[in-house]
Amino acid sequence: MASTRRERARDATTAEIKATARALLVAEGPDALTVRAIARTMGLTPAALYRYFGGHEELVTAMCGDVLDEITATLEAARDTVGLEDPMGRLMAICRAFREWSLAHPREYQLTFASMIDKPLVGPGSDQGEDGIAFGSVFLGVFAEIWAHRPFNVPADDQLPPALVLQLREFSARTGEILPLGVLVAYLSGWVRLYGAVTIEVFGHLGFALADPEPMFEAMLADMRRAMTTPVS
Amino acid sequence: MASTRRERARDATTAEIKATARALLVAEGPDALTVRAIARTMGLTPAALYRYFGGHEELVTAMCGDVLDEITATLEAARDTVGLEDPMGRLMAICRAFREWSLAHPREYQLTFASMIDKPLVGPGSDQGEDGIAFGSVFLGVFAEIWAHRPFNVPADDQLPPALVLQLREFSARTGEILPLGVLVAYLSGWVRLYGAVTIEVFGHLGFALADPEPMFEAMLADMRRAMTTPVS
DNA sequence: TTGTTTATGCGAACGTTGTTCACTATGCTG
DNA sequence: CAGCATAGTGAACAACGTTCGCATAAACAA
């Protein structure tokens, strides 16, 4: 990609900045993620960083992109731990990997997944951002696998609220129309449940009742499986 | 409470500070929630505020408490819209009210429910904070109502993972031992699903697929109802 | 090789933030 | 009335994000 020497050096510095920022984030928390601190630990003047980033916000946005790439790779690796003959197992592997990564990287999680839409909007496939789509397609892909392998009981289109059907049609068109709307509902519900379970645990908002939420997480996964293995009636 | 004149004046100022902070938060966003800005809009010196609050963090913590009280009152009001003969309807009212309040007050929601455990830890009943317990007991109370009104199918204690049983026993002891452990599981699962669905919507992380997540939210409520109306087998 | 351009970094500065401190009034209390 | 706690002031400090003009070194054209 980077042909000329200059471009290579520039990319290296950019990477070093992001790496330093990342290290600062995990070591000192989000409040320490400051332009001046990054410059300081790199032996640079704060002003110098503005040759590489438009400002503080742009820098953390770039970091979110990196995080999203990293977690996408992690999920794919976890997914490929399980063979294609067991797509449900692949989904479970993804979910568990998502939880474990998030618990191991709470700061990054907060930055990337628990920010308002003001900031970089992400989900499993975000409006803006290529990284987001990649992240989302990992999930969507395995749902397609599951459906192809063994269809389960999903509501027919005319059993869904009309308002929902309209939105799902749009979403389906955007994602290649590979799945029935009912499967998209399962996909979205699954993502919402996973996101919620992980977020509440990362924030510690379950500590009032459970010191170790893992069994509850597994129970949620079991319920998710149950919903997706009801035979077609 | 406040007998002497001085104390009354002090409490009034304290309240005005929190009100100003709140107004600033909703009008300008969390970044504008600054000690100096509050003092400025009140016609005070920044230093003066330190007679009332230990610092910025303590101030937003106090605000979170207020928010928690406010939302608790809102949920109770919504709950009492439905008569005692329909406890499930009361739960649904609470859930919908929680979603609507959160969508109408995203900044407050972010501050109160989407902060790390570093900050004020809250959940439906938090480790620290009386407001949290009040908030949580609204939920727990209606679950008790439902169970008393019509028991549903919950796993027996020996069907639950032993690690979970131990934690649930502790939690049960802390909350008065009024419910079987399986009902506590339903309660916690319900809170996790509600929290997740609302959080993901408030953050806009569902916008990649749905412009209006309300039907999906209703579907989640329906599934919650289903899980809590399976007759005892 | 020489001259020109362009990217990179520096240093200083501005306005903002949270917070502390010495000081001055004001109003309550004995 | 005397004494004292309290509320508020103003100035200061360190740290922040950001901008500007100036140097320097690398890349390129002649």
pLDDT over threshold 80, residue A129: no
* Close Cβ partners of B87 (under 8 Å, ≥ 6 residues apart): B142, B145, B146, B148, B149
DSSP assignment letter at A121: -
pLDDT given at position B125? 45
Give percent above pLDDT 70 in chain A: 93
Instruction: Kindly report the three-state secondary structure assignment for every residue of chain B.
Output: CCCCHHHHHHHHHHHHHHHHHHHHHHHHCHHHCCHHHHHHHHCCCHHHHCCCCCCHHHHHHHHHHHHHHHHHHHHHHHHCCCCCCCHHHHHHHHHHHHHHHHHHCHHHHHHHHCCCCCCCCCCCCCCCCHHHHHHHHHHHHHHHHHHHHCCCCCCCHHHCCHHHHHHHHHHHHHCCCCCCHHHHHHHHHHHHHHHHHHHHHHCCCCCCCCCCCHHHHHHHHHHHHHHCCCCCC
- C-alpha A45/C-alpha A35 separation (Å) is 10
**C15 C1' to A176 CA distance, Å:** 51
pLDDT given at position A19? 97
pLDDT given at position B126? 47
Q: Which of residues 2-61 of A touch B (CB under 8 A)?
A: 29
pLDDT given at position A6? 79
- C-alpha B232/C-alpha B226 separation (Å) is 13
Q: Is the CB of B45 under 7 A from strand D?
A: yes
pLDDT given at position B231? 72
pLDDT over threshold 50, residue A16: yes
- C-alpha A184/C-alpha A122 separation (Å) is 18
Handedness of CA A54, A59, A61, A66 (dihedral sign): positive
Give the chain B residue nearest A172 (alpha carbons). Answer: B209
- Give yes or no for a contact between A191 and A58, defined as CB atoms under 8 angstroms apart: no
For the record, the structure tokens of B8 come out as 């009354």
User: Per-block average pLDDT, block size 10, for chain B (233 residues)?
Assistant: 74 96 96 97 97 96 94 98 98 98 97 73 52 88 96 95 96 91 97 97 92 97 94 67
* Chain centroid to CA A169: 23
Q: pTM for this structure?
A: 0.94
- C-alpha A2/C-alpha A175 separation (Å) is 32
* Partner residue facing A164 (CB), from B127, B208, B216: B216
What average pLDDT does the segment A36-45 reach?
97
What average pLDDT does the segment A91-106 reach?
98
pLDDT over threshold 60, residue A124: no
pLDDT given at position B176? 87
pLDDT over threshold 60, residue A1: no
- Cβ of A114 and B114 within 8 Å? yes
pLDDT band at residue A117 using 50, 70 and 90 as cut-offs: low
Q: Which of residues 167-206 of B touch A (CB under 8 A)?
A: 167, 171, 184-185, 188-189, 192-193, 195-197, 199-200, 202-206
Give the chain A residue nearest B132 (alpha carbons). Answer: A208
pLDDT given at position B118? 54
**Tens digit of pLDDT for each residue in A135-148?**
889 999 999 999 99
pLDDT given at position B128? 52
pLDDT given at position A125? 44
- C-alpha A143/C-alpha A127 separation (Å) is 20
pLDDT given at position B120? 39
pLDDT over threshold 50, residue A119: no
What's the half-sphere exposure (Cβ side, CA atoms, 13 Å) at B162? 0
What's the half-sphere exposure (Cβ side, CA atoms, 13 Å) at B168? 24
* Close Cβ partners of B199 (under 8 Å, ≥ 6 residues apart): A114, A195, A196, A199, A200, B109, B113, B114
What dihedral angle (degrees, nearest 10) is formed by the CA atoms of A4, A5, A6, A7? 60
What average pLDDT does the segment A176-202 reach?
96
What average pLDDT does the segment A1-23 reach?
88
pLDDT band at residue A71 using 50, 70 and 90 as cut-offs: very high
Residue bearing the bigger pLDDT, A23 or B135:
A23
pLDDT band at residue A116 using 50, 70 and 90 as cut-offs: confident
DSSP assignment letter at A32: G
pLDDT band at residue A225 using 50, 70 and 90 as cut-offs: very high
- Give yes or no for a contact between B156 and B190, defined as CB atoms under 8 angstroms apart: no
pLDDT given at position A233? 60
- C-alpha B40/C-alpha B43 separation (Å) is 5
pLDDT given at position A178? 86
Give percent above pLDDT 90 in chain A: 82
Q: If we measure between CA atoms, which residue out of A28, A21, A34 comes closest to residue A64?
A: A21
- C-alpha B90/C-alpha B79 separation (Å) is 5
* Close Cβ partners of A228 (under 8 Å, ≥ 6 residues apart): A88, A146, A152, A186, A190
- Shortest alpha-carbon distance between residue A193 and chain B (Å): 6
